[in-house]
């Protein structure tokens, strides 16, 4: 990063690390990427470095590749007029760093740094970091009118950093929450996912308090138009879960009746929708420490999620004393241990892993079709009950008796 900045200076330009990486460095956190801002124009940046990618050339962003790591280098810019509540009509380059910092969303994100100049903090971001406050740069209402996504970003940063939201900033969201309808569901989902997978997922409650709920979850969700108590309950569940997105979405949607609809509305991928739905819809599934019950539950819930996600979800529900759950944490440990044994013993958990197949039943003279399927299911049930039965001769004998 310092190499890129030095190189830009050698060529007569200025350059600074800017935004999230400066905030993280000030807070003693390790930045996950480094954004650089410069008065050099994109084509000038491209002429200085060997390997560059035109990431967002229209917006002034060029990615400089160094040792296989990409660094986004963006020309100082002013956002033109915002006419639609989400995008500037045009971006205008500026030779002035302060102008670039002024267009950024929050004071903590509007600092710049390089080794020559030290830190540039014209909007008191350091003070807000010390006071643990999210505050808009400039007049909050203006800033949210320009880009309504910033309202959710305020909650997102408050969740990730465990900061509170400054009063004026908070109240402006309370006034302008309806503008979130202008923002695409994809962008909303990105922020929501970051909120719930953060260290303080309970900050989700601000979505409810500020009236953003129906714009995030849609009109038909049980999280829309409800009082805060539902949010308190799901926050409590999420706080007991690891910060994995499947698990946190399951926690969030524990009371949801149409999970597919809510998650599809948020443009989540099919894998997430499928896993979260299976977790939540099976939360009251009969399960005990009995191995046959464990095998049946694994088949119903899915081997792919049973131990990694389902048992984790159950543990959280047990910790919050969720209604209808009779298992204890010790039971979950026992189930987990016995599940590992089932796997180690290679016990049959799939129709396909049975010692008989359709063709074996056909050889007994059964016609193709539903009957074969039905008999296989009955045999599978017995095998789940007692894995010793998964033997070709035994199963054929059993099948004969069923015919």
Residues lying near ligand ATP in the complex (CB under 6 A) are found at: 19-20, 35, 104-105, 109-110, 147, 149-150
In whole angstroms, what is the distance from residue 24 CA to residue 22 CA?
5
Q: Which of 5/237 has CB closer to ligand ATP?
A: 5
- Dihedral, CA of residue 225, residue 226, residue 230 and residue 234, to nearest 10: 0
Are β-strands 112-114 and 15-18 bridged in parallel, bridged antiparallel, or unpaired?
antiparallel
Q: Which of 20/125 has CB closer to Mg ion?
A: 20
**Closest distance of CB 57 from ligand ATP, Å:** 17
Establish if 1 lies at the interface with Mg ion (CB under 5 A).
Answer: no
Stretch of residues binding Mg ion (CB under 5 A), selected from 16-24, 120-128, 207-215, 262-270:
16-24
**Closest distance of CB 156 from Mg ion, Å:** 12
Q: Which of 109/221 has CB closer to ligand ATP?
A: 109
Establish if 20 lies at the interface with Mg ion (CB under 5 A).
Answer: yes
Residue 213 contact partner, candidates Mg ion, ligand ATP, none, CB within 5 to 8 A by sort of partner: none
Residue showing the smallest CB distance to Mg ion in the complex? 20
**Closest distance of CB 47 from ligand ATP, Å:** 25
Q: Which of 20/251 has CB closer to ligand ATP?
A: 20
Q: Which of 176/301 has CB closer to ligand ATP?
A: 176
CA 140 vs CA 136, 154, 165, 167, 229: distances in Å: 5, 11, 11, 10, 28
**Closest distance of CB 152 from Mg ion, Å:** 15
Q: Which of 12/28 has CB closer to ligand ATP?
A: 28
DSSP codes of every residue in 195-214: HHTSS-GGGGHHHHHTT-HH
In whole angstroms, what is the distance from residue 218 CA to residue 205 CA?
16
> What's the per-residue H, E or C state across 3-52?
HHHHHHHHCCCCEEEECHHHHHHHCCCCCCCCEEEECCCHHHHHHHCCCE
By three-state DSSP, how is residue 228 classified? helix
Residue 147 contact partner, candidates ligand ATP, Mg ion, none, CB within 5 to 8 A by sort of partner: ligand ATP
Q: List the Cα angle 19/215/274 in 5-degree steps.
A: 90
**Closest distance of CB 118 from ligand ATP, Å:** 19
Establish if 17 lies at the interface with Mg ion (CB under 5 A).
Answer: no
In whole angstroms, what is the distance from residue 367 CA to residue 394 CA?
21
DSSP codes of every residue in 88-138: BS-EEE-S-HHHHHHTSSBGGGS-EEETTTEEE-TT-HHHHHHTTEE-BSS
Count the Cβ atoms, other than its own, within 10 Å of residue 139. Answer: 11
Stretch of residues binding Mg ion (CB under 5 A), selected from 19-27, 142-150, 265-273, 312-320:
19-27
Torsions phi, psi for 129 (to 5 deg): -65, -45
Q: Which of 37/390 has CB closer to ligand ATP?
A: 37
**Closest distance of CB 305 from Mg ion, Å:** 30
Residue 105 contact partner, candidates ligand ATP, Mg ion, none, CB within 5 to 8 A by sort of partner: ligand ATP
Question: What are the strands of the beta sheet with 52-56, ordered from one edge?
Answer: 52-56, 61-66, 69-75, 35-38, 15-18, 112-114, 118-120
**Closest distance of CB 11 from ligand ATP, Å:** 24
Q: Which of 150/291 has CB closer to ligand ATP?
A: 150
Helical axes 149-161 vs 167-176, angle rounded to 10°: 140
Binding-site size, Mg ion (CB under 5 A): 1
Residue 347 contact partner, candidates Mg ion, ligand ATP, none, CB within 5 to 8 A by sort of partner: none
Tokens 């939201």 correspond to what residue? 165
Q: Which of 33/308 has CB closer to Mg ion?
A: 33
Establish if 202 lies at the interface with Mg ion (CB under 5 A).
Answer: no
Residue showing the smallest CB distance to ligand ATP in the complex? 20
In whole angstroms, what is the distance from residue 287 CA to residue 156 CA?
37
Establish if 156 lies at the interface with Mg ion (CB under 5 A).
Answer: no
Q: Which of 146/256 has CB closer to ligand ATP?
A: 146
Stretch of residues binding Mg ion (CB under 5 A), selected from 18-26, 157-165, 176-184, 318-326:
18-26
Applying CB under 5 A, the residues found at the interface with Mg ion are 20
């Amino acid at each position: 990063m310092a190499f890129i900045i030095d190189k830009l200076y050698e060529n007569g330009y200025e350059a600074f690390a800017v935004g999230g990486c400066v905030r993280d460095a000030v807070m003693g956190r390790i930045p996950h990427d480094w954004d650089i801002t410069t008065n050099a124009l994109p084509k000038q940046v491209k002429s200085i470095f060997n390997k560059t990618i035109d990431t967002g050339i229209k917006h002034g962003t060029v990615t400089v590749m160094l040792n296989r790591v990409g660094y986004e280098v963006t020309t100082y810019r002013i956002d033109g007029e915002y006419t639609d509540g989400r995008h500037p009509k045009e971006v205008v380059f500026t030779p002035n760093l302060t102008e670039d910092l002024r267009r950024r969303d929050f004071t903590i994100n509007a600092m710049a740094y390089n080794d020559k100049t030290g830190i540039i903090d014209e909007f008191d971001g350091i003070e807000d970091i010390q006071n643990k406050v999210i505050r808009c740069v400039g007049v909050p209402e203006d800033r949210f009118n320009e880009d309504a996504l910033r309202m959710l970003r305020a909650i997102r940063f408050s969740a990730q950093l465990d900061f509170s939201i400054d009063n004026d900033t908070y109240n402006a969201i309370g006034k302008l929450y309806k503008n979130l309808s202008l923002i695409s569901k994809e962008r909303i989902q990105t922020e929501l996912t970051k909120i719930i997978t953060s260290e303080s997922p309970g900050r989700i409650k601000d979505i409810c308090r500020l009236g953003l709920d129906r714009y995030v979850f849609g009109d038909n969700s049980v999280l829309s138009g409800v009082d805060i108590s539902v949010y308190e309950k799901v926050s409590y569940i999420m706080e007991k879960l690891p910060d994995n997105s499947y698990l946190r979405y399951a926690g969030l949607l524990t009371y949801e009746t149409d999970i597919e609809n809510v998650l599809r509305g948020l443009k989540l991928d099919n894998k997430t929708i499928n896993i979260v739905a299976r977790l939540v819809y099976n939360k009251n599934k009969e399960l005990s420490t009995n191995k046959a019950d464990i095998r049946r539950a694994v088949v119903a819930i899915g081997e792919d999620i049973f131990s990694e996600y389902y048992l984790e979800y159950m543990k959280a529900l047990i910790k919050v004393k969720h209604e209808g759950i009779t298992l204890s944490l010790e039971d979950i440990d026992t189930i987990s241990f016995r599940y590992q044994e089932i796997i180690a013993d290679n016990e049959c958990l799939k129709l396909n892993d049975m010692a008989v197949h359709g063709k074996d039943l056909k050889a007994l003279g059964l016609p193709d079709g539903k009957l074969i399927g039905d008999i296989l299911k009955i045999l599978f049930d017995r095998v789940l009950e007692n894995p010793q039965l998964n033997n070709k001769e035994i199963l054929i004998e059993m099948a004969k008796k069923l015919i």
